[in-house]
Amino acid sequence: MAEEKQHQGVFHHHKSEEKPETATGYDAPPPRVSDVDYRKEKKHHKNLEHVGELGTAGAGAFAMVQCFVSCHSLI
């Protein structure tokens, strides 16, 4: 029995196994974000804001027309 290997725990790593060369988990550096992607995202967000403003203006114009039509239809 002395010649048999003793059973190690689940999380035991043998010394013959080496760590991988690539960093994983918290050791890895954050991915690089290029300026081009940032500018593209900023431009896209700005365009979406303008579309939202146009929708708001269109809804206001529609409400004014509906009010005008309903007020003149009572006469």
Residue 12, in any domain of the structure: no
Residue 5, in any domain of the structure: no
Residue 65, in any domain of the structure: yes
Q: pLDDT tens, 17-52? A: 555 556 566 777 777 767 778 888 899 999 999 999
Domain span at residue 67 reads 38-73
| pTM across the whole model | 0.44
* Percent over 70 (pLDDT), the chain: 61
- Cα-Cα-Cα-Cα dihedral sign, residues 10, 13, 16, 21: positive
> How many separate domains does the chain show?
1
Residue 4, in any domain of the structure: no
Q: How far is CA 49 from CA 38, 42, 44, 63, in A?
A: 17, 11, 9, 21
On average, the pLDDT of the chain sits at 77
Residue 17, in any domain of the structure: no
Task: Work out the end-to-end distance of the chain between its first and last CA atoms, rounded to an integer number of angstroms.
Answer: 108
